[in-house]
């Protein structure tokens, strides 16, 4: 039963501060809710094997986050990862990476103490607020890029970059966390271990190839930026196989509201071929990062090169005498002890952590105007002389111990400043734990009733021995897809073949001699575990290797499932979570604890807050229902399985089209919602097909390249059959349409802006309200399109299109049969013709 809820202050520890600080008394007296020099409060996060709790350092009075891991629950791969994480967090130091202060090992538990970020995960913010404006995205993304740049410059790859691993600190400052999958990578070295979260995984990882971890990080950054500016995943899918297929199709659909520069930037990061994908240097230099002056200023500041070893620089500095004195008084440590720990960067010593926490406090004091310079760790010189290398005259005005005390040693009662223990004395059950040993308090899996509701939906990163693919999912490989097959048989540059056996990337023995005796796992041989063990992000064995994939493709099932559209995902997401602050995950660890969340994280699409108008990706192509789309897709796939027997497909489409006339297969009852072939803009671009080319014959393209037809995944995408030539504009979901009399087109020779002005003023004169939307046409370069949307269901699109680069204007009546709409279109066309004698019709 959960302990009674009551507010809990530090005084509940019940042991005088000085006694607590004595190392001896710490051994003898172990109050119920502390570890080392920290008073521990509620849980603020939960991973697969870790629980993260807020805590407060007793001397510095700084809030910290303590990640506790029960090492005895880890298998050897996770043990290796944990030790690697420990090694990496000790050496990294960057303003946009969560700073670690201390590593504690007590019995079976390992504790990582780090800077506390008060504003939660970026992911939660996105779920709460939906997509963000590009300016905000730019700030967050550039801070992330700055952190990644630093890591790469240190030869470290993160390998699990995602919105869930980005926290927001004070002033919405980005702080990167979770180095559980990080590793070192030097030169041209390739990595083999599968790490990360499927929606963020680079294609080379999805294929199980060796990969360049830095380029894989860039792919994840591309996904991150996409999510920031669209609120949805670039490759929405409900299984890893579908995700893989979607990623490998090479199609990245970017909603019209995303700026040209940003769309270009995203595409440069989401390049299939890692050899051609942006590097972090390219990322930092992309023009989108410098669009606004005020942000540019920030960028320069943020992206200033961080010294490759900031630690070296620190070591040239002196220890801050005030802090030293303060520590000697309050911590009862000798000068030598402090110097040894600080200069030696002994993360396993509370002295080092105390110094660092105090130094950061003082630094904060500087920011608040105390004039103090950043006090740094001491130099070895003082140790050689047997004396602290402490300035008699401290560096620039140093705050006094008294000031420091005032700054940091606020009352232990709950208050609102950083040093407050308000989070420690919350009324969560953990704060009022019953007396028990600290292992129980920290490490063992607890029921969610104890942890608190926030974690019901907590997501995890998957580890090596966990798995994502249920046997079911493994059986759902798609039908032979030409693109995918080609890709695998002839991997493009930079996709080396999968090695026969994979090896661990980190020498076990360098972590601990005993680890060298562990047999290494052959990650390729791991078996799938049941579906209910699925995790949100995946470890080494979660995806089949290249070889597995080919095997699966050879044995592929004839039962392909369909893609849900983003719209569908968004709808079901909203229906389930209705804009509430919810994060979703599949909880539980391998040891058996936890709750199963019904929806894996990669399945979700936080396509939440865009107004309905914005969710429409194509201005004049009404959507088919999910069922209709599924049906059409099934027809298509069946045709593929019968050796491209298109005649049957044609026949079936014809039947479907008949139904269409009676509005039986439409959403809106409009004949325009009849099934049509959707051939993406990417397809057209690749094949240099101009939208107005009369030779464009979707049927023959469909027949010849049936396997290359990409089924859209976004709203308003239609697939189907049409035998007439294409007419009209290329939209993100370019749809072939018949020359329906409900669609009128005209090509003007006037400048784009003038055409728009004329249309708008005509509508104003006619007192017809309209909404104006800026959209992008991919034709073949990205071109701006303006859409005027009338409540009566008339949509007007204007774009300057090649080859003549003239303003194409298209009028479509999308959801009514009213003759007034047709008259209105005629009237508007008439006005355009009057002002443009050189107009032509399409």
- Least distance in Å: CB of 453 to ligand ATP? 14
> Using CB under 6 A as the criterion, what x/- string covers residues 126-165 for binding ligand ATP?
--------------------------------------xx
Evaluate whether 442 touches 12 at the Cβ level (below 8 Å).
no
Which is nearest to 40 in space by CA: 423, 509, 601, 567? 423
Q: Does 370 bind ligand ATP (CB under 6 A)?
A: no
Span near ligand ATP by CB under 6 A; candidates 172-180, 262-270, 715-723, 771-779: 172-180
Span near ligand ATP by CB under 6 A; candidates 114-122, 350-358, 501-509, 624-632: 114-122
Nearer to ligand ATP, 466 or 779 (CB): 466
Residues 6+ apart with CB under 8 A from 33: 8, 12, 13, 39, 40, 41, 430, 431, 433, 441
- Least distance in Å: CB of 199 to ligand ATP? 14
Active-site choice (70, 160, 681, 697): 160
| Residue selected from 102, 178, 733, 779 as contacting ligand ATP according to rule CB under 6 A | 178
Backbone φ and ψ for 323, nearest 5 degrees, come out as -65, -40
Structure token digits, residue 127: 């779920």
Per-residue burial over 430-463, b = 16 or more CB atoms within 10 Å of its CB, e = otherwise: bbbbeeeebbebbbebbebebbbebbbbbbbbbb
Q: Does 102 bind ligand ATP (CB under 6 A)?
A: no
| Residue selected from 74, 103, 109, 117 as contacting ligand ATP according to rule CB under 6 A | 117
> Using CB under 6 A as the criterion, what x/- string covers residues 445-464 for binding ligand ATP?
---------------xx---
Structure token digits, residue 12: 């509940």
Q: Does 101 bind ligand ATP (CB under 6 A)?
A: no
- Within 13 A of 632's CA, how many CA atoms are on the CB side? 30
- Least distance in Å: CB of 447 to ligand ATP? 18
Q: Does 115 bind ligand ATP (CB under 6 A)?
A: yes
| Residue selected from 21, 35, 44, 228 as contacting ligand ATP according to rule CB under 6 A | 44
67 is in an annotated binding site: yes
Span near ligand ATP by CB under 6 A; candidates 110-118, 218-226, 233-241, 343-351: 110-118
- Least distance in Å: CB of 668 to ligand ATP? 42
Which is nearest to 65 in space by CA: 331, 327, 344, 357? 357
Residue with tokens 């240097």: 281
Span near ligand ATP by CB under 6 A; candidates 39-47, 244-252, 475-483, 621-629: 39-47
Evaluate whether 268 touches 278 at the Cβ level (below 8 Å).
yes
CA distance 842 to 829: 12
Nearer to ligand ATP, 85 or 775 (CB): 85
| Residue selected from 35, 52, 794, 832 as contacting ligand ATP according to rule CB under 6 A | 52
| Residue selected from 47, 250, 344, 475 as contacting ligand ATP according to rule CB under 6 A | 47
Residues 6+ apart with CB under 8 A from 82: 49, 69, 71, 74, 110, 180
Which residue stretches of 401-545 are H helix? 401-408, 438-442, 448-451, 471-474, 482-489, 508-511
Q: Does 67 bind ligand ATP (CB under 6 A)?
A: yes
End-to-end C-alpha distance for the chain, whole angstroms:
74
Q: Does 114 bind ligand ATP (CB under 6 A)?
A: yes
Which residue stretches of 105-239 are H helix? 122-129, 134-153, 203-206, 213-230
For residue 785, list its beta bridge partners.
775, 799
29 burial level (CB within 10 Å; 0-12, 13-18, 19+): middle
Span near ligand ATP by CB under 6 A; candidates 21-29, 49-57, 205-213, 701-709: 49-57
Nearer to ligand ATP, 302 or 463 (CB): 463
- Least distance in Å: CB of 585 to ligand ATP? 8
Residue with tokens 């936890």: 594
Span near ligand ATP by CB under 6 A; candidates 44-52, 211-219, 802-810, 815-823: 44-52
Nearer to ligand ATP, 166 or 488 (CB): 166
Q: Does 180 bind ligand ATP (CB under 6 A)?
A: yes
Structure token digits, residue 448: 């969610």
Q: Please say if 160 is a catalytic residue.
A: yes
Q: C-alpha distances in angstroms, 522 versus 496, 509, 525, 727?
A: 19, 18, 6, 55
Nearer to ligand ATP, 479 or 606 (CB): 606
Q: Does 45 bind ligand ATP (CB under 6 A)?
A: yes
Q: Does 177 bind ligand ATP (CB under 6 A)?
A: yes
Q: Does 182 bind ligand ATP (CB under 6 A)?
A: no
Q: Does 714 bind ligand ATP (CB under 6 A)?
A: no
Please provide the DSSP assignment of 490-528 as one string: SPPTT-PPPPSS---SS-HHHH-GGGGGSPPP-GGGPPP
Which is nearest to 303 in space by CA: 461, 432, 506, 148? 148
| Residue selected from 126, 167, 448, 646 as contacting ligand ATP according to rule CB under 6 A | 167
Q: Does 166 bind ligand ATP (CB under 6 A)?
A: no
Size of the site for ligand ATP (CB under 6 A): 23
- Least distance in Å: CB of 416 to ligand ATP? 18
| Residue selected from 21, 26, 37, 50 as contacting ligand ATP according to rule CB under 6 A | 50
Residues 6+ apart with CB under 8 A from 406: none
Q: Does 710 bind ligand ATP (CB under 6 A)?
A: no
CA distance 798 to 294: 33
- Least distance in Å: CB of 191 to ligand ATP? 18
Q: Which segments are annotated as binding site? A: 67
Residues making up the annotated binding site for ATP are 67
Positions touching ligand ATP (CB under 6 A) are 44-45, 47-50, 52, 65, 67, 98, 114-117, 121, 164-165, 167, 177-178, 180, 460-461
Residues recognised as catalytic: 160
């Amino acid at each position: 039963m959960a302990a009674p809820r009551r507010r809990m202050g530090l005084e509940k520890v019940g042991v005088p501060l000085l006694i607590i600080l004595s190392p001896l008394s710490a051994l003898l007296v172990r109050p119920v809710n502390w570890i080392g020099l920290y008073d521990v409060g509620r849980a603020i996060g939960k991973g697969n094997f870790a629980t993260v709790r807020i805590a407060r350092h007793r001397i510095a009075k700084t809030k910290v986050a303590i990640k506790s891991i029960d090492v005895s629950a880890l298998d050897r791969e996770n043990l290796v990862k944990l030790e690697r994480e420990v090694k990496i967090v000790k050496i990294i130091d960057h303003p946009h990476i969560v700073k670690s202060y201390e590593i504690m090992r007590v019995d079976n538990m390992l504790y990582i103490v780090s800077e506390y970020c008060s504003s939660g995960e970026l992911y939660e913010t996105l779920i709460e607020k939906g997509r963000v404006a590009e300016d905000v995205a730019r700030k967050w993304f550039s801070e992330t890029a700055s952190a990644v740049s630093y890591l790469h410059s240190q030869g470290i790859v993160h390998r699990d970059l995602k919105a869930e691993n980005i926290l927001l600190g004070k002033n919405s400052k980005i702080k990167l966390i979770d180095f559980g999958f990080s590793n070192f990578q030097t030169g041209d070295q390739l990595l083999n271990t599968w790490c990360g979260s499927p929606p963020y995984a680079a294609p080379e990882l999805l294929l199980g190839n060796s990969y360049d971890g830095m380029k894989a990080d860039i792919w994840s950054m591309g996904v991150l930026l996409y999510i920031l500016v669209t609120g949805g995943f670039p490759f929405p899918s409900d299984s890893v196989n579908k995700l893989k297929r979607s990623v490998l199709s090479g199609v990245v659909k970017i909603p019209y509201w995303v700026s040209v520069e940003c769309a270009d930037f995203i595409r440069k990061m989401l390049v299939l071929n890692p050899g051609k994908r942006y590097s972090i240097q390219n990322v930092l230099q992309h023009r989108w990062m410098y669009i606004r002056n005020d942000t540019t200023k920030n960028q320069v500041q943020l992206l200033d090169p961080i010294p490759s070893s900031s630690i070296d620089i620190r070591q040239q500095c002196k220890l801050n005498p005030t802090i030293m004195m303060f520590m000697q008084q309050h911590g009862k440590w000798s000068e030598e002890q402090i110097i040894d720990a600080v200069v030696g960067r002994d993360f396993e010593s509370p002295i080092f952590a105390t110094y660092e926490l105090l130094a950061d406090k003082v630094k904060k004091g500087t920011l608040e105007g105390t004039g103090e310079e950043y006090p740094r760790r001491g130099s070895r010189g003082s140790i050689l002389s047997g004396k602290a290398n402490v300035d008699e005259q401290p560096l620039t005005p140093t705050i006094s111990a008294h000031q420091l005390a005032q700054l940091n040693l606020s009352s232990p009662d709950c208050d609102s400043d950083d040093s407050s223990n308000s989070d420690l004395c919350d009324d969560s059950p953990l704060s009022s734990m019953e007396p028990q040993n600290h292992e129980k308090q920290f490490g063992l899996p607890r029921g969610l009733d104890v942890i608190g509701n926030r974690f019901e939906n907590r997501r995890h990163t998957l580890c090596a021995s966990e798995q994502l693919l249920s046997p079911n999912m493994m059986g759902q490989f798609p039908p032979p897809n030409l693109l995918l097959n080609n890709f695998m048989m002839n991997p493009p540059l930079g996709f080396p073949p999968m090695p026969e056996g994979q090896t661990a990337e980190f020498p076990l023995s360098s972590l601990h001699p005993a680890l060298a005796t562990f047999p290494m796992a052959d990650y390729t041989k791991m078996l799938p575990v049941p579906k209910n063990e699925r995790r949100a992000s995946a470890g080494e064995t979660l995806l089949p290797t290249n070889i597995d994939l080919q095997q699966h493709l050879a044995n592929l099932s004839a039962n392909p499932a369909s893609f849900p559209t983003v719209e569908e995902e968004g709808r079901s997401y909203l229906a389930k979570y209705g804009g509430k602050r919810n994060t979703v995950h599949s909880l539980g660890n391998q040891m058996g604890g936890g709750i199963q969340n019904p929806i894996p994280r990669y399945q979700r699409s936080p396509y939440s807050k865009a107004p309905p108008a914005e969710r429409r990706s194509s201005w004049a192509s009404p959507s088919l229902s999910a069922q209709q789309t599924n049906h059409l897709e099934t027809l298509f796939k069946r045709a593929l399985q019968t050796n491209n027997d298109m005649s049957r497909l044609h026949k079936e489409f014809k039947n479907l089209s008949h139904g269409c006339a009676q509005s039986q297969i439409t959403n809106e009852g409009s004949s325009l919602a009849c099934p049509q072939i959707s051939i993406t803009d990417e397809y057209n671009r690749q094949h240099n097909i101009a939208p107005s080319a009369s030779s464009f014959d979707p049927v023959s393209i469909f027949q010849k390249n049936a396997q290359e037809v990409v089924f859209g995944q976004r709203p308003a995408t239609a697939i189907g059959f049409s035998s007439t030539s294409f007419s009209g504009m290329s939209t993100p979901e370019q749809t072939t349409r018949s020359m329906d009399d409900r669609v009128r087109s005209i090509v003007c020779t006037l400048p784009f802006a003038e055409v728009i002005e004329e249309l708008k003023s005509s509508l104003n004169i006619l007192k017809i309200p309209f909404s104006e939307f800026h959209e992008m046409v991919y034709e073949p370069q990205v071109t701006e399109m303006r859409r005027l949307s009338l409540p009566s269901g008339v949509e007007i699109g204007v774009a300057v299109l090649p080859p003549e680069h003239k303003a194409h204007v298209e009028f479509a009546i999308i959801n009514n049969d009213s003759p007034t709409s047709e008259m209105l279109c005629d009237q508007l066309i008439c006005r355009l013709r009057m002002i443009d004698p050189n107009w032509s019709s399409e």
